[in-house]
Amino acid sequence: MPIRINLLAEMQALEEIRRRDPVKRAILIAVGLVAIVFVWITSLMVEKIGVKSEISNLELKIQNGSKDYKQVLDNQQSLVDGRQKLLALHQLSTNRFLIGNVLDALQKSTVDNVQLTRLKIEQSYALTEATKPSTNESGAVSPGKPAQAIERTTLILNAKDSSGVAGDSIGRFQAALSRSAFFHPLLTNRTNEFRLTTSLTPQVDADGRTFVAFTLESHLPDKLR
Protein backbone atom coordinates (compact mmCIF):
# COMPACT_ATOMS: atom_id res chain seq x y z
CA MET A 1 0.00 0.00 0.00
CA PRO A 2 1.52 3.34 -1.03
CA ILE A 3 2.24 6.01 1.57
CA ARG A 4 0.94 9.56 0.83
CA ILE A 5 2.64 12.52 2.41
CA ASN A 6 0.77 15.87 2.53
CA LEU A 7 3.45 18.53 2.38
CA LEU A 8 0.83 21.33 2.80
CA ALA A 9 -0.65 19.94 6.00
CA GLU A 10 1.31 22.31 8.17
CA MET A 11 0.30 25.36 6.16
CA GLN A 12 -3.34 24.25 6.18
CA ALA A 13 -3.20 23.85 9.94
CA LEU A 14 -1.82 27.33 10.35
CA GLU A 15 -4.55 28.74 8.07
CA GLU A 16 -7.23 26.98 10.10
CA ILE A 17 -5.78 28.46 13.28
CA ARG A 18 -5.88 31.96 11.72
CA ARG A 19 -9.50 31.49 10.71
CA ARG A 20 -10.37 30.64 14.28
CA ASP A 21 -8.41 33.63 15.71
CA PRO A 22 -10.66 35.46 18.33
CA VAL A 23 -9.11 38.86 17.50
CA LYS A 24 -10.27 38.68 13.94
CA ARG A 25 -13.69 37.63 15.13
CA ALA A 26 -13.78 40.57 17.52
CA ILE A 27 -12.79 42.90 14.68
CA LEU A 28 -15.60 41.59 12.52
CA ILE A 29 -18.10 42.03 15.39
CA ALA A 30 -16.81 45.57 15.98
CA VAL A 31 -17.17 46.43 12.32
CA GLY A 32 -20.73 45.11 12.42
CA LEU A 33 -21.53 47.21 15.52
CA VAL A 34 -20.06 50.30 13.91
CA ALA A 35 -22.21 49.72 10.85
CA ILE A 36 -25.31 49.35 13.03
CA VAL A 37 -24.47 52.58 14.92
CA PHE A 38 -23.91 54.39 11.66
CA VAL A 39 -27.28 53.27 10.35
CA TRP A 40 -28.92 54.34 13.64
CA ILE A 41 -27.25 57.78 13.53
CA THR A 42 -28.30 58.19 9.93
CA SER A 43 -31.91 57.38 10.84
CA LEU A 44 -31.78 59.91 13.69
CA MET A 45 -30.48 62.62 11.34
CA VAL A 46 -33.25 61.91 8.86
CA GLU A 47 -35.81 62.03 11.66
CA LYS A 48 -34.29 65.29 12.93
CA ILE A 49 -34.58 66.84 9.50
CA GLY A 50 -38.23 65.77 9.36
CA VAL A 51 -38.95 67.23 12.82
CA LYS A 52 -37.26 70.52 11.87
CA SER A 53 -39.40 70.72 8.76
CA GLU A 54 -42.53 70.08 10.81
CA ILE A 55 -41.51 72.72 13.36
CA SER A 56 -40.93 75.24 10.57
CA ASN A 57 -44.39 74.55 9.19
CA LEU A 58 -45.95 74.98 12.63
CA GLU A 59 -44.09 78.26 13.22
CA LEU A 60 -45.30 79.53 9.86
CA LYS A 61 -48.87 78.63 10.76
CA ILE A 62 -48.51 80.38 14.15
CA GLN A 63 -47.18 83.52 12.48
CA ASN A 64 -50.05 83.56 10.02
CA GLY A 65 -52.50 82.97 12.86
CA SER A 66 -50.95 85.81 14.89
CA LYS A 67 -51.36 88.20 11.95
CA ASP A 68 -55.00 87.20 11.55
CA TYR A 69 -55.59 87.57 15.30
CA LYS A 70 -54.01 91.02 15.32
CA GLN A 71 -56.19 92.01 12.37
CA VAL A 72 -59.27 90.81 14.25
CA LEU A 73 -58.26 92.87 17.31
CA ASP A 74 -57.69 95.94 15.15
CA ASN A 75 -61.07 95.49 13.48
CA GLN A 76 -62.71 95.02 16.85
CA GLN A 77 -61.14 98.22 18.17
CA SER A 78 -62.20 100.12 15.05
CA LEU A 79 -65.75 98.88 15.59
CA VAL A 80 -65.71 100.00 19.24
CA ASP A 81 -64.35 103.44 18.27
CA GLY A 82 -66.98 103.79 15.57
CA ARG A 83 -69.79 102.91 17.97
CA GLN A 84 -68.52 105.40 20.53
CA LYS A 85 -68.39 108.14 17.92
CA LEU A 86 -71.92 107.35 16.76
CA LEU A 87 -73.12 107.41 20.36
CA ALA A 88 -71.43 110.76 20.94
CA LEU A 89 -73.01 112.20 17.80
CA HIS A 90 -76.40 110.87 18.86
CA GLN A 91 -76.05 112.44 22.30
CA LEU A 92 -75.00 115.72 20.74
CA SER A 93 -77.95 115.77 18.36
CA THR A 94 -80.58 114.77 20.93
CA ASN A 95 -79.35 116.35 24.18
CA ARG A 96 -77.84 119.64 23.11
CA PHE A 97 -79.19 122.77 24.69
CA LEU A 98 -81.34 124.68 22.18
CA ILE A 99 -81.98 128.41 22.73
CA GLY A 100 -85.10 128.20 20.57
CA ASN A 101 -86.77 125.93 23.13
CA VAL A 102 -86.04 128.43 25.90
CA LEU A 103 -87.46 131.34 23.91
CA ASP A 104 -90.56 129.33 23.05
CA ALA A 105 -91.09 128.43 26.73
CA LEU A 106 -90.70 132.07 27.82
CA GLN A 107 -93.16 133.16 25.17
CA LYS A 108 -95.76 130.75 26.57
CA SER A 109 -95.13 131.70 30.23
CA THR A 110 -96.22 135.33 30.20
CA VAL A 111 -97.95 136.99 33.15
CA ASP A 112 -99.90 140.23 33.21
CA ASN A 113 -97.92 143.28 34.37
CA VAL A 114 -94.57 141.42 34.06
CA GLN A 115 -92.27 142.34 31.20
CA LEU A 116 -89.13 140.36 30.40
CA THR A 117 -86.36 142.81 29.59
CA ARG A 118 -83.29 140.62 29.31
CA LEU A 119 -82.34 136.98 28.98
CA LYS A 120 -78.84 135.78 29.81
CA ILE A 121 -77.56 132.23 29.47
CA GLU A 122 -74.27 131.22 31.07
CA GLN A 123 -72.69 127.91 30.11
CA SER A 124 -69.49 126.33 31.40
CA TYR A 125 -67.89 122.96 30.71
CA ALA A 126 -65.84 120.66 32.93
CA LEU A 127 -63.73 118.47 30.63
CA THR A 128 -62.73 114.85 31.23
CA GLU A 129 -59.77 113.49 29.25
CA ALA A 130 -60.22 110.44 27.00
CA THR A 131 -58.72 107.07 27.97
CA LYS A 132 -57.09 104.82 25.37
CA PRO A 133 -58.07 101.17 24.85
CA SER A 134 -55.88 98.61 26.58
CA THR A 135 -55.15 94.92 26.02
CA ASN A 136 -54.57 92.56 28.94
CA GLU A 137 -52.28 89.52 29.06
CA SER A 138 -54.95 87.19 27.68
CA GLY A 139 -55.44 89.44 24.65
CA ALA A 140 -58.85 90.78 25.64
CA VAL A 141 -59.40 94.40 24.69
CA SER A 142 -60.78 96.87 27.22
CA PRO A 143 -62.41 99.70 25.29
CA GLY A 144 -61.33 103.22 26.06
CA LYS A 145 -63.58 106.12 26.90
CA PRO A 146 -63.98 109.20 24.76
CA ALA A 147 -63.39 112.65 26.13
CA GLN A 148 -66.46 113.99 27.91
CA ALA A 149 -67.67 117.34 29.10
CA ILE A 150 -70.12 118.23 31.86
CA GLU A 151 -72.26 121.13 30.68
CA ARG A 152 -73.51 123.53 33.36
CA THR A 153 -76.18 126.00 32.27
CA THR A 154 -77.55 128.97 34.19
CA LEU A 155 -80.56 131.02 33.05
CA ILE A 156 -80.80 134.62 34.23
CA LEU A 157 -84.03 136.53 33.56
CA ASN A 158 -84.25 140.29 34.08
CA ALA A 159 -87.80 141.61 34.17
CA LYS A 160 -89.93 144.33 35.67
CA ASP A 161 -93.20 144.16 37.54
CA SER A 162 -95.56 147.08 36.97
CA SER A 163 -98.51 145.68 38.93
CA GLY A 164 -97.92 147.98 41.87
CA VAL A 165 -98.08 145.07 44.33
CA ALA A 166 -94.52 144.01 45.03
CA GLY A 167 -93.98 140.28 44.81
CA ASP A 168 -97.46 139.17 43.72
CA SER A 169 -96.91 139.15 39.95
CA ILE A 170 -93.37 137.92 40.46
CA GLY A 171 -94.63 134.84 42.27
CA ARG A 172 -97.15 134.15 39.51
CA PHE A 173 -94.37 134.54 36.92
CA GLN A 174 -92.22 132.01 38.81
CA ALA A 175 -95.15 129.59 38.97
CA ALA A 176 -95.83 129.99 35.23
CA LEU A 177 -92.22 129.19 34.45
CA SER A 178 -92.29 126.11 36.69
CA ARG A 179 -95.43 124.80 34.96
CA SER A 180 -93.93 125.25 31.49
CA ALA A 181 -93.71 122.03 29.45
CA PHE A 182 -90.02 122.80 28.78
CA PHE A 183 -88.90 123.97 32.22
CA HIS A 184 -90.98 121.62 34.39
CA PRO A 185 -88.85 118.45 33.71
CA LEU A 186 -85.68 120.46 34.34
CA LEU A 187 -86.71 122.01 37.65
CA THR A 188 -86.33 118.76 39.57
CA ASN A 189 -85.42 120.21 42.96
CA ARG A 190 -85.05 123.48 44.80
CA THR A 191 -81.55 124.07 43.45
CA ASN A 192 -82.97 124.20 39.91
CA GLU A 193 -85.97 126.46 40.61
CA PHE A 194 -86.10 130.06 39.47
CA ARG A 195 -84.92 132.03 42.49
CA LEU A 196 -85.30 135.73 43.10
CA THR A 197 -81.80 137.21 43.42
CA THR A 198 -82.55 140.94 43.81
CA SER A 199 -84.34 143.13 46.31
CA LEU A 200 -87.78 144.46 45.38
CA THR A 201 -87.10 148.18 45.30
CA PRO A 202 -89.78 150.31 43.58
CA GLN A 203 -88.57 152.54 40.76
CA VAL A 204 -90.18 155.14 38.49
CA ASP A 205 -89.84 155.08 34.70
CA ALA A 206 -89.67 158.08 32.33
CA ASP A 207 -93.48 158.19 32.11
CA GLY A 208 -93.85 158.39 35.87
CA ARG A 209 -95.09 154.82 36.31
CA THR A 210 -93.87 152.77 39.23
CA PHE A 211 -92.32 149.39 38.66
CA VAL A 212 -90.07 146.88 40.39
CA ALA A 213 -87.04 145.48 38.55
CA PHE A 214 -86.16 141.94 39.56
CA THR A 215 -83.93 139.06 38.48
CA LEU A 216 -84.75 135.34 38.45
CA GLU A 217 -81.97 132.78 38.22
CA SER A 218 -82.07 129.02 37.62
CA HIS A 219 -79.24 126.47 37.53
CA LEU A 220 -80.39 123.76 35.13
CA PRO A 221 -79.32 120.15 35.74
CA ASP A 222 -75.84 119.27 34.51
CA LYS A 223 -75.61 117.47 31.20
CA LEU A 224 -72.94 114.99 30.13
CA ARG A 225 -71.86 115.78 26.58
What is the C-alpha to C-alpha distance for residues 163 and 214, in angstroms, rounded to an integer?
13
The pLDDT value recorded for residue 35 is: 82
The mean pLDDT values, 10 residues at a time, for the chain of 225 residues are 57 64 69 82 83 82 79 82 78 70 89 91 84 72 74 91 79 90 84 86 83 90 80
User: Phi, psi (5° rounding) for residue 50?
Assistant: -65, -40
The pTM assigned to this predicted structure is 0.53
> What kind of architecture, by CATH, is found in domain 97-224?
2-Layer Sandwich (3.30)
Q: What is the pLDDT of residues 152-186, one digit of tens each?
A: 889 999 999 988 776 678 889 999 998 998 888 88
Q: Pick the closest to residue 173 from 218, 117, 112 (CA basis).
A: 112
The pLDDT value recorded for residue 80 is: 81
Contact 155, 217 (CB under 8 A): yes
Q: What is the largest CA-CA distance in the chain?
A: 188
Q: What is the pLDDT of residues 67-95, one digit of tens each?
A: 777 888 888 888 888 887 787 777 666 66
